[in-house]
Chains A and B, each alone.
Chain A
Amino acid sequence: MTMQPASTEIASRTAAIIQELKGLEGPLLPILHEIQEEFGHVPQAALPVIADGLNLSRAEVHGVVTFYHDFRARPAGRHVLKLCQAEACQSMGSDAVAAKIKQLLGIGFHETTRDGSVTLEPVYCLGLCACSPSAMLDGEVIGRLDDEKIDEILAEVRS
């Protein structure tokens, strides 16, 4: 498992991010994105620091963080595989693709393999609807998923 930074370190790195971005109009989302970029998730220890820095209540910050699907409470696996489950991909068999990948990895959506190699997530549209079924592996887009491409993806996440 990856080492978790101590809460004092989280606080100081969070404070630096807030300092850099708080001049923006409506800075909270850019700050949260930056924190997630920094730590791989939005740690609980960062929330009071944000609340203090932006003059918000902790409840408000908590409310925002938990509203958005993107912000993680815990770090993801080393790879993040997102499978599109929206209509265009459904029409091309995304259900079967997801079932196959879940079976091969031994996990369901929103879960991470026990070795921490990959987190599997559904996504509702990657804008690759004329190349369905589609997926995103660590930010790389993949279209027209077939058995061969599934094998390539699995080889990459297991390596």
Chain B
Amino acid sequence: MIPRIYIPGDSGALALGAEKVAKAIAKELAERGIEAKIVRNGSRGAYFLEPMVEVATANGRVAYGPVKPSDVKSLFDSGFLTGGHHKRWLGAPDKIPFLAKQTRLTFARCGINDPLSLDAYKSLGGLKGLQNAVAMAPADIVKQVTDSGLRGRGGAGFPTGIKWKTVLDTTSERKYIVCNADEGDSATFADRMIMEGDPFVLIEGMTIAGVATGATKGFVYIRSEYPHAVATMNKAVEIARKAGVLGVNVLGSPNAFDMEIRVGAGAYVCGEETSLLNSLEGKRGVVRAKPPLPAIQGLFGKPTVINNVISLASVPIIMDKGAAFYKDFGMGRSRGTIPIQIAGNVKQGGLFETAFGLTLGEIVDDIGGGTATGRPVKAVQVGGPLGAYFPRALFDTPFDYEEFAKRDGLIGHAGITVFDDTADMLKQARFAMEFCAIESCGKCTPCRIGSTRGVETIDRLAAGIEPEKNLALVTDLCNTMKFGSLCALGGFTPYPVMSSITHFPEDFKPAPARVAAE
């Protein structure tokens, strides 16, 4: 048997030098005259171990990481092709604690095989959900998704099945499935990992959505900052078409469904669903007022399911194993699993899929292992640039939509950014306003003007000018933005700002040292 070596082609792994490692391994194989097959898999998501190289041995996979090009010679000398010991040896990948502790449903296949091998996808249970779906009545598929308790993983947490039911019940000669892959929130990379590491699961999920609602056309709107995801998705769609997964007869059934990959153009606000629809139509990505709901009048005015990548990629397992199986995971009204992305200043950063319910402290301290710098954790921002900053005092908050809302936070797309004690929360609050000003679509006044006034007011606070008055002004401004903005950009920017002010008041006190230094 020819040895198989797995080297991730995921952008996170590439950013850490996977390409150089692949070249060094290929060169070493050639020099030693060894025949081996190099497979470029996705990432399993343990980025602190990337580039993580795996070899298939008689006793299963053995992983090594993080591998540097300079390690390659000694890896061969240590007999890594048969799992030999080396300082980078990690053992069986599924026994690595960070991976072993996870419950992988949506990401079950991500990072294991060549993402563009449809055979490998099928060998690990792929397409079973779609096979079940094409044999069912649309209303029954929608019921399964509703019963699973799946809620929109993009951040809003709206029940996916209810959205689908609205589209199913709306009569139209044309309907659309739109996948929101405009993953702009800092600390999130779950969508990117799925698109680069298991693209067929997204295609399968979208096709099920099409069959369930009577939509025949799908669009994936991917942000331009993700060139690798765009390339992989384009190739995967082509392969799925050739294999009859997409086309006029999905898996030989009378259902027609096809899809296109579209690329955004660097506007954060296009992650908001109505902006995204405008952008797909070729317009400025400005927010639309709701109603009408996209489910009734969406893309080109037609009924449209618009879901996040992870919501859609979670559907195949629900249709394969059943609603009850999925619903069995989680807590309260947050059912199933959630891919938590642990990022920023953290020792063990990466993607951790688990049932809802872990506390924030367990995620940051036990799984993340604390900060990368080794300093104490000061704050963690949960849910991206529009999410609240949580202090250590709130680390007992369980990861659940409602529990976070109760503490004036949100889980959003489940990204967590860890900051050590050098963080200046006034600076973070200012950045939140600044980011809102840069990215505002300009349609509504609280967001467009409020964000700029917010930056100016926080600057006055920093300069020690009338601190009490300016603090009250920021608070009042946040209130206006929260309740007066059309969408979550202006409406949620107050979360990082107000949580910084509430939980870290010391950073907003006049700093005599800062004033004196200027």
Which chain B residues (347-401) contact chain A, with CB distance < 8 Å? Answer: 349-351, 372, 381, 384-385
Least distance between A78 CB and chain B CB atoms (Å): 19
Interface stretch (choices B27-35, B153-161, B185-193, B469-477): B185-193
**Residues 102 to 133 of chain A near chain B (Cβ within 8 Å):** 123-132
Name B46's closest neighbour in chain A (CB-CB): A130
User: Is B189's CB under 8 angstroms from A130's CB?
Assistant: yes
Please measure, in the bound complex, the distance between the C-alpha atom of A76 and the C-alpha atom of B192, giving whole angstroms. 27
Interface residues of B in 249-296 (CB under 8 A from A): 260, 262-268, 279-286
A24 partner residues in chain B, CB cutoff 8 A: 260
Contact of A127 among B188, B217, B280, B420 (CB under 8 A): B188
Of B8-16, B142-150, B235-243, the one touching chain A? B8-16
Q: Mark B172-192, 1 if CB is under 8 A from A, else 0.
A: 000000000001111111011
When the two chains form the complex, which single residue of A33, A69, A123, A128 contacts B12, counting CB atoms closer than 8 Å? A128
Interface string of B405-443 (1 = CB under 8 A from A): 000000000010111100100001001000100110100
Q: Are A68 and B267 in contact (CB under 8 A)?
A: yes
Least Cβ–Cβ distance between A116 and chain B, in angstroms: 22
Contact B267 A143 (CB under 8 A): no
A54, B286: Cα distance in complex, Å? 20
**Is the CB–CB distance between A88 and B343 below 8 Å?**
yes
Verify B226–A129 contact, CB threshold 8 A. no
Q: Which residue of B lies closest to A54 (CB)?
A: B282
Query: Which residue in B187, B265, B372, B381 is a CB contact (below 8 Å) of A32?
Result: B265
A61 to B480, CA, bound (A): 33
Q: A68-B265, A91-B417 are in contact. Are A29 and B282 (CB under 8 A)?
A: yes
Range class of the A interface residue count: 35 or more
- The CA of A140 and the CA of B14, in the complex, are separated in Å by 8
List chain A residues, Cβ under 8 A from B226.
127
A138 to B189, CA, bound (A): 20
Of the four ranges (under 10, 10 to 19, 20 to 34, 35 or more), the interface on chain B belongs to: 35 or more
Q: Which of B185, B227, B262, B300 is in CB contact (< 8 Å) with A125?
A: B185
Main SS of the interface on chain A?
loop
Is A73 interfacial (CB-CB < 8 Å)? no
How far, in angstroms, from A54 to B16 measured CA to CA in the complex?
43
CB–CB A29/B185 < 8 A: no
**Which residues on the A side are within 8 Å of B487 (C-beta)?**
none
A87 touches B15 (CB 8 A): no
A29 engages B279 (CB within 8 Å): yes
The answer to whether the Cβ of A139 comes within 8 Å of any Cβ in the partner chain is yes
Q: A30-B262, A87-B344, A124-B435 are in contact. Are A130 and B284 (CB under 8 A)?
A: no
A91-B419 in contact given A67-B284, A70-B266, A130-B341 (Cβ < 8 Å)? yes
Q: Is the CB of A143 within 8 A of B12?
A: yes
A83 at the interface (CB under 8 A from B): no
Chain A residues contacting B228 (CB-CB under 8 Å) are 141
Could you tell me if B184 and A88 are in contact, using CB atoms closer than 8 angstroms?
Answer: no
Q: With an 8 A cutoff between CB atoms, is B224 at the interface? A: yes
| Seed contacts A86-B186, A127-B183, A130-B349; 9 additional CB < 8 Å A-B pairs | A26-B262, A63-B284, A87-B187, A87-B344, A87-B417, A89-B186, A130-B47, A130-B342, A144-B16
Task: Show 9 A/B contacts (Cβ-Cβ < 8 Å), sorted by A.
Answer: A87-B186, A87-B384, A126-B15, A127-B189, A129-B187, A130-B346, A130-B350, A131-B349, A132-B343
